[in-house]
């Protein structure tokens, strides 16, 4: 029989719990949960004033929520429990199993489905499909937690207890690989202990792209290059790609908010990433502040900025030699290269002070073999404060 192994320790005066191989930090305490439920029951009771609703609790996750919900519901009601799940471990399988356990007739009844959490909406889609064929008078959905960033469907959710970021949570009925349901509070996955998020700086020719490839493989990180993001979105004619192209067609610079939205989508599409390398972004203080704000909303942060430093004359020679092979005209004209360095100094160099004030700036000697520079970067990364 598998035993729960939950360890409690303290980090920066916060209680952290460990279940299996994951650490979780406090997110919503029991008192807050009860306040949310009291508000939700009042909203439902107002809408159900002239009827006796049937509450349908979706097991296993919603059993604690349903229990407290009915306890707080002051008017007449009925409740039944059904089984309909799509989660294994920390990931939605996106394969919803058939509903089991609906042993009462709901034909002509006002039904309120009680869900613990709605993220992608796959389970919700199946719920709508099933009850559409049950002849119910009305169908409403009440969920304790909702992840708008993960939601992929265009289906109505009538009552939302609390919108939350797209981070894994456990406790109060929610589990991690079947453990943690009995916790009275809700905890969220503590990515600050496991993630490594880096900003890679360097003038043209400093070798950012080469080093980002090595670091991505070594530390299992997601490499986010703004150049790649633009090319992908424009090539695939996404809404953001079309918007960016419209500015480019007019000869205008693409606004920061468009670039940031592309980056946000890339981060949201990699919720299980062990970390990110940001290459080519941020380029300005405003972009750095926007990146910090977005990452903070996700409960994560930049751990270090690594700047590959090299003498301008050496970099110019590198670019000229590269231009002979690549055919890139901007790498063959020395005056154009120097202009790119001037632009870098004007726009990007102020970020040095921004990150120095945060204690996150690390200058790396960018002269030497690829392996030597990779080793210097690795040493800096492994000594970063988490």
Q: Which residues are annotated as a binding site for AMP?
A: 226, 231, 252-254, 280-283, 287, 328, 340
Helix axes 239-249, 226-235, angle to 10 degrees: 100
Any alpha helices (H) in 48-182, and if so which ranges?
A: 63-72, 122-132
- DSSP codes of every residue in 14-45: EEEEEETTEEEEEEE-HHHHHHHHHHHHHHHH
| 328 assigned to active site | yes
Catalytic-labelled residue, pool 5, 152, 328, 386: 328
> Which of 22, 140, 208, 376 is labelled catalytic?
208
Q: Are 256 and 290 in contact (CB under 8 A)?
A: yes
Q: Which residue bears the tokens 């920066």? A: 12
DSSP string, 179-223: B-TT-SSEEEE-GGGT---EEEEE-TTS-HHHHHHHHHHHHT-EE
- Please list, in sequence order, all residues whose beta carbon lies within 8 angstroms of the beta carbon of residue 150, skipping any fewer than 6 positions away: 119, 120, 166, 268, 271
| Backbone torsions φ then ψ of 222, nearest 5 degrees | -95, 125
322 is catalytic: yes
Given the DSSP bridges, would you call strands 14-19 and 6-11 parallel, antiparallel or unpaired?
antiparallel
Beta pairing, strands 138-146 & 110-118: parallel
Helix 312-326, helix 334-347: angle, nearest 10: 130
Q: CA 167 → CA 74, 117, 147, distances in Å? A: 33, 12, 8
Question: Which one is catalytic: 283, 298, 301, 347?
Answer: 283
Query: What DSSP designation does 100 have?
Result: B
Closest CA to 284 of 310, 252, 265, 257: 257
Angle at 36 between CA 31 and CA 37, to 5 degrees: 95
* Residue 181 annotated in active site: no
Q: Is 376 a catalytic residue?
A: no
39 classed as catalytic: no
> Residues comprising the binding site for ATP?
205-210, 322, 368
Instruction: Identify the burial level of 340 via C-beta atoms within 10 angstroms of its C-beta, where 0-12 means exposed, 13-18 middle and 19 or more buried.
Output: middle
> Which segments are annotated as binding site?
205-210, 226, 231, 252-254, 280-283, 287, 322, 328, 340, 368
Active site residues: 208, 283, 322, 328, 340
């Amino acid at each position: 029989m598998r035993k729960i192994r939950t360890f409690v320790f303290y980090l920066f005066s916060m209680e952290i719990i460990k279940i299996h191989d994951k650490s979780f930090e406090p997110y919503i305490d029991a008192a807050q949960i009860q306040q949310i439920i009291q508000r939700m029951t009042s909203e439902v009771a107002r809408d159900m004033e002239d009827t006796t609703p049937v509450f349908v609790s979706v097991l296993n996750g919603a059993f604690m929520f349903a229990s407290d919900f009915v306890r707080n519901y002051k008017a007449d009601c009925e409740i039944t429990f059904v089984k309909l799940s799509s989660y294994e471990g920390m990931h939605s399988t996106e394969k919803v199993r058939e509903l089991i356990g609906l042993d009462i007739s709901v034909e002509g009844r006002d039904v309120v489905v009680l869900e613990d959490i709605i993220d992608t909406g796959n389970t919700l889609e199946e719920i709508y499909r099933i009850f559409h064929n049950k002849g119910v008078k009305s169908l409403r959905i009440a969920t304790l937690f909702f992840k708008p960033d993960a939601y992929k469907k265009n289906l109505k959710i009538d009552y939302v207890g609390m919108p939350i970021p797209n981070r894994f949570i456990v406790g109060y009925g929610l589990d991690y690989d079947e453990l943690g349901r009995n916790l009275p509070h809700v905890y969220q996955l503590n990515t600050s202990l496991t993630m490594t998020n880096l900003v890679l700086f360097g003038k043209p020719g400093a070798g950012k792209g080469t080093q980002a490839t090595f670091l991505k493989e070594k530390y299992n990180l997601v490499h986010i290059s703004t150049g790649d993001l633009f090319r992908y979105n424009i090539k695939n004619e996404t809404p953001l790609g079309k918007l960016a192209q419209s500015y480019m067609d007019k000869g205008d610079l693409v606004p920061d908010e468009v670039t940031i939205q592309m980056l946000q989508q890339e981060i949201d599409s990699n919720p299980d990433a062990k970390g990110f390398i940001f290459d080519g972004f941020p380029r300005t203080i405003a972009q750095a502040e926007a990146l910090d704000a977005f990452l903070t909303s996700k409960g994560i942060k930049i751990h270090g900025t690594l700047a590959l430093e090299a003498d301008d004359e050496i970099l110019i020679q590198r670019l000229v030699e590269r231009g002979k092979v690549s055919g890139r005209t901007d790498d063959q004209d020395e005056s154009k290269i120097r202009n790119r360095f001037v632009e870098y100094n004007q726009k990007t160099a102020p970020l040095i002070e921004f990150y120095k004030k945060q204690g996150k700036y690390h200058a790396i000697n960018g002269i030497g073999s690829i392996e030597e520079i990779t080793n210097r970067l690795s040493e800096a990364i492994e000594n970063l404060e988490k």
